[in-house]
Amino acid sequence: MNFFERQQAVRAQSRRLIALFVLAVAGIVFVVDLSLLMVFGVFNEGPQGFWENLVAHRGVLAVASALVLAVIGVASLGRMLQLRGGGAAVARELGGTQVTGDTRDPGYRRLRNVVEEVAIASALPVPEIFVLEQEAGINAFAAGWSASDAAIAVTRGAMDRLNRDELQGVVAHEFSHILNGDMRLNIRLMGVLFGILVLGLIGRKVLQHARYSRSRNSSQVMLAALALMVFGGIGLFVGRLIKAGVSRQREFLADASAVQFTRQTQGLASALKKVGGVADGSRLVSDQTEQVSHMLFGDGVGYASWLSSHPPLNERIKALEPGFVAAQLVPMRKRWELHPPDGLAEDRALGLAESVADLPPADALIAERPALMAAHVGSPALDDYRRAATIHADMPEALARAARSHEHVVALVLALLHSHDSSLAARQLALVSERHGADVAETVASQVAALRDLHPLLRLPLAQLAFPALRRRPRPELDMFNATVDALIHIDGQLDLFEYCLATLLRTQVMQALDPSQHWQAGKRKLVECIVSLRDLLAVLAQQGHADASSARRAFVAGWHRLLPQVQVEYPAAAVSVRALDAAWPELVRLGPAGKTVLIEAMAIAAAHDDRITLAEAELLRTVCALLQCPLPPLRFRGNASTPVLD
C-alpha cells in the first residue's frame, strides 16, 4: 500500500467513524428512552396499554432525546474547538514538557536529534517535541491536524529505558502516523468520542456534589446521577469499541512503516519487548489517558485484548520477528525487575554514535527515476534515513543552535535570504534594521557571514530546523517577519527558486500552523478541473530546468502527455514566473490522491527531460510536493554537473 492508497484508506475510515458515531449516539438515545419508559411503567399494561402510554409520554421522550443529543453534540463540538490548537495543545493537556532548542539535558538532546533526523528522512516539518515527565511507562504519541502543527510526545519511561535505536523505532512509528494521515483521524476521534463519554462525566460530578448535600431531593439527584453514569458507561464501552475498530490495524501499518525507513527491524522490536518486560509497561497515570488511548504507541490503559485499540503486544513483536515466542519475555522481566534498562548506558556500551557519509558536491545532480518518484512519496526507505543522517550530522552546530534558538531564529532565517551581491545585501540589512531594529540587523550580518560556506543541500533543512522555534513567536511578530521575508526577496525585482521555496514553506509550515484545523482540506478535485494551474506548474518546472525555450517546450509536452494526454493545451508563449504558482496552490492542493500521483510523475518527467535534475530543481520539486501534502524524502545524488544522472 503506497502513500496515496493509505490516504484513501484513512478517508474511508473517517466516513466509517462518522457512521459508528451516529449509531452510538442513536443507541444511547434509545437506552435513555427505554429507561424512561420503564420508569413510567409502560411495559406493565399489555400491548394496548403500551401504545396508549407511549403516545401519552411522547412529549417527554422527545424532550429527553433532544436533551441527550444536545449534550453530546455540544460536548463534541466544544472538545473539537479546544483541540484547534493542534498537537501541542494535546501534549500540554497531558502535562508535556517542551524540549527547547537550547536544552543541555543529554536525554532531551538525543530525542531532539532523533526526531530531526526522521523528519528530514520523511520530508516532514520538524514537529514540536514534548516529554511526559510524570509517566514511567514506555509510550509516545503524535497529535495534530496536519504535519505543519504536529507534536510528538515521549514519556520519561521511554527516554530512560530505550537506547537510541529503540527510541528511533518508536519515533519512526509516530512519524508514520503523521505520514499515513492517522494523526488527523485520531484527533477527530478524540473530539467526537468526548461527546459520547460526557454523560458519564456529568453523572460522576453530580454524584460527587450530591454526596455532601443535605437537600431533601438529594436522593433523587443521586439516582439521576447514577443513571447518567450508567448511560455514560454504555458510551464508554461503545467508544472503546469504536477506537478498537478504527485504530488496531493502523498500529500494524505504523510498525511496518517504521521498519521500512529505519535502519533495522531490531530497534522497534526491542522497544516493544521492553514494553512487555518492564514493570510499568506502557501504562499512563494521567486522567486524560482514556481520551488519548487510541493515539498512543502502546496500550496506555490496560484494556482487555478485544477492546484494545492496539493489537496484542506479542502479535506486534511476532510481525517484526517471526520466530518470537511470548516465553522469551519471562527472563527479560526477571532481569529488568532487579535492574531496569538504562537507554543512555546502552548507547555508550553499544557504540550507537552515528557514522555518516559525506555530502555530495555542490553541483551534484539527482539520480531519481521519474517513474518511481511518486512511489517514493510518503515512503522513506533505508537510504533516505542515511541521507537524512548525513544532512543532520553535517549541519554546522552553531547554525543548528541558532535555528533552534528563540532569540536568534528570526535573524538566521532572514540571513538565509540575503544576497551575495554586497550592494544589494547592504540594502537588505538596512530594511531589516528599519523593520526589526539595529540589534537584529547586526545579528543577521553575523549569520550571513556564518552561512557563506554552507553547503547548498543544507539550506532548506536548516530553515526547517528553525520552523518549530518560529511557530512559538507571537502572531503579530510573525506577521511582521513574514512581511519582511517578502520584502527581502523582492528587493531586487527578481525571485530565484530557493527564495520562492523558502518563502512558500514558511507560509505553509509556519503561518498556516497557527490555525491548522482551518487550512487542511480533503482532496476531491480531478485533474481536468485544474487545467490552467497544471499548465503553469509544468511550465515553471520546464523553464527553470532547461537552458533554452525549445528544450523547455519539449519538457513541458512530455510532462503534459503523462498528465492529461487527452486534453490539448498551448504552451505559454511568455515565460511563467514562479510567483504565478501562488494562484495554483488552492486548486492543486485539493486534487484527489489519484490526481496527485499522476501530477508528481508528470513533474518529474518535465524536470528530468534533459537527463539532469539540479539541486535547485529538486528543492522546487520537494517544495511542490510539500504544498500538495505529499512529502518527498531527500533525493538520491549521483556524480556532478558533467556526469549523466538518470538511467
Residues recognised as catalytic: 174
* Cα–Cα distance, 109 to 114 (Å, whole number): 9
* Cα–Cα distance, 647 to 645 (Å, whole number): 7
One-character DSSP codes across 103-162: ---HHHHHHHHHHHHHHHHHT-PPPEEEEETT--S--EEEE-SSGGG-EEEEEHHHHHH-
H-helix or E-strand containing 638? strand 637-638
* Cα–Cα distance, 254 to 455 (Å, whole number): 34
How many helices (H) and strands (E) the chain has is answered by 29, 6
H-helix or E-strand containing 98? strand 97-98
* Cα–Cα distance, 378 to 363 (Å, whole number): 26
- The CA distances from residue 617 to 63, 502, 621, in Å, are 63, 13, 6
* The three grid cell numbers given for residue 58, joined into one nine-digit string: 411522547
| Residues 461/524, Cβ–Cβ less than 8 Å | no
- Maximum pairwise Cα distance, the chain: 96
Q: How many residues does the chain have?
A: 647
H-helix or E-strand containing 366? strand 365-366
Which long-range contacts does 635-638 make (Cβ < 8 Å, 24+ apart)?
Answer: 635/366, 635/367, 635/368, 636/366, 636/367, 636/368, 636/383, 636/387, 637/360, 637/364, 637/365, 637/366, 637/367, 638/364, 638/365, 638/366, 638/367
Q: Which residues contact 179 (CB under 8 A, 6 or more apart)?
A: 3, 6, 122, 124, 257, 378, 631
* The three grid cell numbers given for residue 97, joined into one nine-digit string: 514538557
